[in-house]
Amino acid sequence: MGAEHYPPPWFSVAPMMEWTNNHYRTLARLISKKAWLYTEMLAAETIVYQTGNLDRFLAYGPEQHPIVLQIGGNNLENLAKATQLATPYGYDEINFNCGCPSPRVVGHGCFGVCLMLDPKFVAEAMCVIAANTNVPVSVKCRIGLDGHDSYNELCDFIYKVSSQSPTRHFIIHSRKALLNGISPADNRKIPPLKYEYYYALLRDFPDLQFTINGGINSIDEVNAARMEGAHGVMLGRAAYSNPWRILGLVDSSVYGAPLHSITRRQVLEQYQVYGDSVVRMYGNKPNIRDVVKPLLGLFHGEPRNVVWKRKVDAALLHCTTIKSLLEETLGEIPERVLDAPITEVPSGSTDMFIKYYVL
């Protein structure tokens, strides 16, 4: 099934290593039917050297569509082979990572965000990826790195990659990366967000598709970005730490579908069936803690959330199924919270992006 069969990527959940795995994506899809989901970044080498073990890295449930595979790498042969090996898994788009500042990644030759300094290579990589798949390809990048952070340099990168490869969709994490040894977490906080670069790209490359990313924390902000012209909006940390209030409103508030009537109790019942099937299949690997982890944001901001999370922590020491863990802990959450469907919250400010329109 190709991307054209799905709602447009107006809203997507960002690729996040060790976070947007199968467990989180299963939970996300129970709450939103329309959000586009990205995998964690998978290095091309991991795919190429694990050919006997591909399901572990590439398999996912059919309900997870639309789903995008993000790959990383700096070796054209491996990128080609990895794309070929991933193709039978039926991802809806292949995304190439040009934004990761992790020293583990940057240290392995030029990989992740430092590829932004070599747009010719990125264009070649995108040609190779596109030649080995029949689905669209996209690039996720920053607005620059270190001293290479002018708008002109960003335009040069976008121009060269888009004119020398079939790439038509760019996801712009709207801050630069600092490769001076600060941690990946600080690299998502310290460099300032410059949404004006993103909006200037919309103006200067009207034939391309751009998704905005970085520091967007609510559905009001998603809609504000779209009202200012953003083609798509990608959320990372907020969609992970507060899935109910973010993903629960995506289908209705972003895509205009009727408000979902599902409750968190029903989400948990369905997730428990998935989680216990994983635990039965793989035993302690992945262990229950990994399966439970995405649930920990489900009651974000609700009464007794902290008490519940502490109880989950204690229950993880002895529970062997998700069912028993939920039975032991859910008494902490008020019934009215468990049984309430998602509700629209009054709209807040929607002008946060207006000032960024003109660079």
Ligand X SMILES: Cc1cc2nc3c(=O)[nH]c(=O)nc-3n(C[C@H](O)[C@H](O)[C@H](O)COP(=O)(O)O)c2cc1C
Q: Which residues bind ligand X (CB under 6 A)?
A: 14-17, 19, 40-41, 70, 97, 99-100, 140, 173, 188, 213-216, 235-238
Whether residue 53 is annotated as binding a ligand: the answer is no
**Cβ-Cβ contacts under 8 Å for 27 (sequence gap 6 or more):** 243, 267, 271, 294, 295, 298
- Residue 70 annotated as lining a ligand binding site: yes
Shortest separation between residue 306's beta carbon and ligand X, angstroms: 22
Q: Using CA atoms in the order 243, 246, 248, 250, what is the torsion angle rounded to 10 degrees?
A: -130
* Least distance to ligand X, CB of residue 246, Å: 10
| Number of neighbouring beta carbons within 10 Å of residue 145 | 25
- 297 a known binding residue? no
Concatenating the DSSP letter of every residue in 35-74 gives -EEEEEEEEHHHHHHTGGGHHHHH---GGG-SEEEEEE-S
Q: Is 17 annotated as a binding residue?
A: yes
- How far apart CA 227 and CA 222 sit, in angstroms, is 9
Is 194 annotated in a binding site? The answer is no
In angstroms, give the least distance from the CB of 319 to ligand X: 26
C-beta of 109: minimal distance to ligand X in Å? 18
What amino acid positions are annotated as catalytic residues? 100
Beta carbons of 20 and 13 less than 8 angstroms apart: yes
Q: Which residue is nearest to ligand X (CB)?
A: 236
Work out the angle at residue 166's Cα, subtended by the Cα atoms of residues 119 and 155, and round it to the nearest 5 degrees: 40
For 10, 109, 170, the CA distances from 137, given in Å and listed in that order, are 16, 23, 9
Nearer to ligand X, 9 or 326 (CB): 9
Separation of alpha carbons 348 and 333, rounded Å:
27
Q: Which of 123, 102, 114 is nearest to 41 (CA)?
A: 102
Residue 2 annotated as lining a ligand binding site: no
Q: Which is nearer to ligand X, 219 or 337 (CB)?
A: 219
Nearer to ligand X among residue 253 and residue 272 (C-beta): 253
Could you tell me the two tokens for 165?
């490869």
The answer to whether 25 is annotated as binding is no
Please state the closest distance from residue 14 (CB atom) to ligand X, in A: 3
Closer Cβ to ligand X, 139 or 319, answer by number: 139
Residue 19 or residue 36: which is nearer to ligand X going by CB? Answer: 19
Cβ neighbors of 182 (< 8 A, separation 6 or more) are: 190
Please give the annotated binding residues, written as ranges: 15-17, 70, 140, 173, 213-215, 236-237
Please give the annotated binding residues for FMN, written as ranges: 15-17, 70, 140, 173, 213-215, 236-237
